[in-house]
């Protein structure tokens, strides 16, 4: 071992101990290609070396799960009638921060491939986006690129983008977040595993040719952004949605042919990852001839071919003897399908180039659960907690003009309509999206050929997680479940995208550990096990002497099911005179909210009131109200509080409201506070007593607020304005900011 070898390893992101571990596995000093292989496979992005200890503590078992977390490319849930749903969420943060259009587009393409490599047809997409200050030109540039990338790729691929969330905060000024989720349908028993069973079986690469785009993309995703990150632009892949559409159809047809043993998308670390993970899973090996890999550029070196993350590629292990069938299928779809190797029984991956052995490594030594390193990092209480504890609620004085407050909040970036964004997405393709016409707290899609439905949502208020990682983690899961429940669905499982700063920062790791603890407890309470997802560390920006981590953002992608779509519930008021009722615990708690942030400029305050047991009881009650047809509408109270929830129901129906604030509550806190575990429902006069009896029986607070009214918005007999007046603020604010 020489200092030169160690320095080379460090440049590739490996530390000295890891270099020694590689030498021990190989029984010799690795060459540059082998070092490059370990550098990508042992990166955080591929190995989860700094997070796997805590990921394993999340609930991973459930009666409806067909595979456990980490077993396959995506989670798989039984939805009845012989059908299963495959779903997953992943990040493409750093590529999107450097090259927003291609970064976001290839994020969408990659997550869809994870779904159809299992044999499922994607039927819906969602996304969770975080941007910086919307007034900055850089933020506008990134927003335009990301939204265009998501829209152009998804629309061309032909899968509707049915939902999502968008938040703005200064902590994302440089390091934006782009999390993409895909949901697909497959018949139970017709899925394909990412395995490499059967020594002697041929190994094929299919889809696009391999180029130099995306080389060391996994390493790039496992490092901080800084002033020189733009120089890593070649690490950003280039996508082709039309090629991916062909790959989808060809892959599903190939699976139906019965000639597929195993298949895996080539995402992070490209050929390296798919060959090693598939081999390790089956305890086999592979002999790969790299010169047979179709390339877009001449004279590519072995390590470049191995590490390229060029898009729209798959690795397939086929049944020996069925090669011609496979070749005909991919030829029909005008796609390259080339045998590049075969499965062996050695347990090693041998990469040859024109007869020369370029790398020879044990497959198991590369992967999570095998030889990849596992670390427990130090963590400590964040110092900014002192400022939270110093918050004095008595210092928050009630404004004299609540109408002006309501208008400012309605137009604020985190509350205003994201119409400018979602109108660039096609949510009507395949005509299965119920929420393309009617608004609901979750996105709802019909399962083709049935009266079953899927409810899906992505949720995380990262400010809550920043202020209290444990409570914030629970709230993220709870809000997702509440949205599913209010749509009429039943939550069944989650996928997650865990976006955090540098794990070597003890305060960041404290956020990570405690957020996962809160998430896990909430998942246990709601019976929603974790099916998989990804961890995205190193989301922080280093500029000059300042390092700023993002807010901890554990995005929750939750799936719910409808056995009967007649239970579908929307947020819109239905009839003039219907009673407006608030369900859930009522209090004068002054916790963090958009109201405190926007109006009082408060950054540090305790999280809003939250009680997990009360939340669970509320969900059960709402579900019972919906299936028994007691309520006419349901909408949860979240950012902006009760007033914004009422306002959104008014926008959806063009009917107004007349409500009264009980005397025991502060008016500003009652209208704009964000205490959790509350839902606003409407009910006819004939069924009001039934609702009240059910709430009394279940121990749920039930407060009559007022009634559905014509177009005016009335609070305590004062007219705050009209639907049209507030609609202009709500629907035009984001677009006006972008165009300034």
**Could you please report the per-residue DSSP string of 186-224?**
EETT----S---STT-EEEEEESPB-STTTTHHHHTTS-
pLDDT at residue 228 in the model: 52
Compute the Cα dihedral for 197, 203, 208, 214 and give only its sign. Answer: positive
Q: If you search the block for the tokens 């110093």, which residue do you land on?
A: 390
- What pLDDT, in 10s, does the model give residues 211-245? 887 675 444 444 555 555 555 545 566 778 899 99
- What pLDDT, in 10s, does the model give residues 124-160? 999 999 999 999 999 999 999 999 999 999 999 999 9
pLDDT at residue 437 in the model: 81
**Which range has the worst mean pLDDT, 17-26, 65-74, 681-690?**
65-74
- What pLDDT, in 10s, does the model give residues 519-563? 999 999 999 999 999 999 999 977 667 788 999 999 999 999 999
59/520 Cα distance (integer angstroms): 6
Token pair for residue 133? 């200050």
Determine which one of 92, 94, 579, 623 is catalytic: 92
CB 54 within 8 A of CB 29: no
pLDDT at residue 223 in the model: 54
Cα R_g (the chain), whole angstroms = 26
Is 45 marked active-site? Answer: yes
Q: What are phi and psi of 359, to 5 degrees?
A: -160, 145
Q: If you search the block for the tokens 């399962």, which residue do you land on?
A: 447
- What pLDDT, in 10s, does the model give residues 86-121? 999 999 999 899 999 999 999 999 999 999 999 999
Q: What are phi and psi of 720, to 5 degrees?
A: -80, -20
Q: What angle do CA 171, 176, 182 make, to 5 degrees?
A: 135
Token pair for residue 481? 């479940």
Q: How many helices (H) and strands (E) does the chain have?
A: 25, 27
552/602 Cα distance (integer angstroms): 18
Cα–Cα separations (whole angstroms), residue 261 to 114, 194, 363, 669: 16, 9, 18, 59
> Strand, helix or coil at 224?
coil
Burial environment of residue 325 by CB neighbours within 10 A (0 to 12, 13 to 18, 19 or more)? middle
CB 413 within 8 A of CB 170: no
Q: If you search the block for the tokens 């794990």, which residue do you land on?
A: 503
- Statement: residue 570 has pLDDT above 90: yes
pLDDT at residue 547 in the model: 83
Q: If you search the block for the tokens 């790729």, which residue do you land on?
A: 153
Token pair for residue 140? 């506008």
> Strand, helix or coil at 712?
strand
Compute the Cα dihedral for 590, 594, 597, 598 and give only its sign. Answer: negative
Determine which one of 45, 579, 585, 635 is catalytic: 45
Is 112 marked active-site? Answer: no
pLDDT at residue 218 in the model: 47
- Alpha-carbon dihedral of residues 455, 461, 464, 470, nearest 10 degrees? 40
- Res. 430 pLDDT band, cuts 50 70 90: low
402/714 Cα distance (integer angstroms): 12
> Strand, helix or coil at 543?
strand
Question: Of 584, 650, 672, which Cα lies nearest the Cα of 622?
Answer: 584
pLDDT at residue 728 in the model: 97
pLDDT at residue 233 in the model: 46
**Which range has the worst mean pLDDT, 112-121, 429-438, 508-517, 642-651?**
429-438
In the chain, the N- to C-terminal Cα span, in Å, equals 59
pLDDT at residue 222 in the model: 46
CB 128 within 8 A of CB 165: yes
- What pLDDT, in 10s, does the model give residues 446-498? 998 889 999 999 999 999 999 999 999 999 999 999 999 999 999 999 999 99
């Amino acid at each position: 071992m020489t200092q030169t070898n160690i320095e080379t390893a460090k440049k590739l992101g490996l530390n000295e101990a890891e270099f020694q571990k590689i030498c021990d596995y190989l029984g010799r000093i690795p060459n540059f290609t082998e070092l490059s292989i370990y550098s990508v496979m042992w990166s955080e992005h591929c190995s989860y070396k700094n997070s796997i200890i805590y990921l394993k503590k999340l609930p991973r078992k459930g009666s409806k799960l067909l595979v456990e977390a980490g077993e396959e490319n995506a989670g798989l849930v039984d939805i009845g009638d012989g059908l299963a749903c495959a779903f997953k969420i992943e990040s493409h943060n750093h590529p999107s921060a450097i090259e927003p259009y291609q970064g976001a587009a290839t994020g969408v393409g990659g997550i869809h491939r994870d779904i159809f490599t299992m044999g499922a047809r994607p039927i819906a997409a969602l996304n969770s986006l975080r941007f910086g200050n919307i007034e900055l030109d850089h933020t506008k540039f990134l927003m335009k690129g990301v939204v265009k990338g998501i829209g152009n790729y998804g629309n061309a691929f032909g899968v509707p983008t049915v939902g999502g969330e968008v938040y703005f905060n200064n902590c994302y000024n440089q390091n934006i977040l782009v999390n993409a989720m895909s949901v697909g349908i497959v018949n139970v028993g017709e899925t394909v595993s990412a395995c490499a069973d059967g020594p002697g079986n041929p190994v094929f690469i299919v889809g696009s040719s391999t180029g130099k785009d995306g080389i060391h993309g996994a390493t790039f995703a496992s490092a901080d952004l800084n002033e020189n990150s733009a120089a890593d632009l070649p690490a950003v892949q280039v996508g082709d949605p039309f090629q991916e559409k062909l790959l989808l159809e060809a892959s599903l047809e190939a699976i139906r042919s019965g000639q597929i043993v195993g298949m895996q998308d080539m995402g992070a670390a490209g050929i390296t990852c798919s060959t090693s993970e598939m081999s390790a899973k089956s305890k086999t090996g592979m002999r790969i001839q790299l010169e047979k890999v179709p390339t877009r550029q001449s004279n590519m070196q072995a390590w470049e071919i191995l590490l390229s993350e060029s898009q729209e590629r798959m690795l397939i292990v086929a049944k020996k003897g069925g090669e011609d069938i496979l070749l005909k299928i991919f030829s029909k779809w005008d796609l390259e399908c080339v045998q590049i190797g075969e499965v062996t029984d050695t347990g090693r991956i041998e990469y040859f180039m024109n007869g020369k052995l370029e790398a020879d490594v044990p497959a198991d030594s590369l992967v999570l659960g095998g030889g990849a390193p596992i670390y427990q990092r130090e963590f400590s209480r964040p110092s900014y907690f002192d400022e939270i504890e110093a918050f004095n609620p008595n210092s928050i004085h009630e404004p004299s003009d609540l109408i002006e407050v309501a208008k400012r909040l309605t137009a604020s970036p985190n509350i205003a309509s994201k119409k400018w964004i979602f109108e660039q997405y096609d949510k009507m393709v395949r005509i299965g999206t119920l929420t393309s016409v009617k608004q609901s707290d979750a996105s709802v899609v019909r399962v083709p050929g049935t009266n079953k439905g899927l409810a899906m949502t992505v949720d995380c208020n990262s400010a809550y997680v920043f202020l209290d990682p444990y409570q914030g983690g629970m709230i993220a899961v709870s809000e997702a479940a509440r949205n599913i429940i209010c749509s009429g669905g039943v939550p069944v499982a989650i996928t997650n995208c865990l976006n955090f700063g540098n794990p070597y920062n003890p305060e960041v790791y404290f956020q990570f550990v405690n957020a996962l603890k809160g998430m896990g407890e909430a998942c246990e309470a709601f019976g929603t096990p974790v099916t998989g997802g990804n961890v995205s560390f190193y989301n922080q920006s280093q500029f000059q002497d300042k390092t700023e981590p993002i807010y901890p953002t554990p995005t929750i992608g939750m799936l719910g099911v409808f056995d009967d779509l007649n239970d579908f519930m929307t947020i819109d008021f239905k009839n003039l005179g219907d009673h407006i009722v608030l369900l859930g615990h009522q209090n004068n708690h002054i916790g963090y909210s958009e109201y405190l942030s926007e109006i009082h400029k408060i950054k540090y305050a305790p999280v809003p009131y939250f009680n997990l047991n009360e939340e669970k009881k509320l969900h059960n009650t709402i579900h019972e109200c919906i299936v028994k047809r007691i309520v006419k509408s349901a909408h949860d109270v979240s950012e902006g509080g009760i007033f914004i929830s009422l306002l959104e129901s008014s926008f959806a129906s063009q009917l107004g409201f007349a409500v009264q604030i009980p005397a025991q509550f502060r008016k500003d806190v009652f209208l704009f506070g964000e205490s959790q575990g509350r839902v606003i429902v409407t009910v006819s006069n004939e069924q009001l007593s039934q609702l009240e009896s059910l709430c009394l029986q279940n121990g749920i607070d039930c407060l009559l607020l007022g009634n559905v009214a014509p177009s005016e918005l009335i609070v305590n007999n004062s007219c705050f304005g009209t639907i049209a007046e507030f609609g202009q603020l709500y629907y035009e604010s984001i677009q006006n900011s972008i165009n300034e």
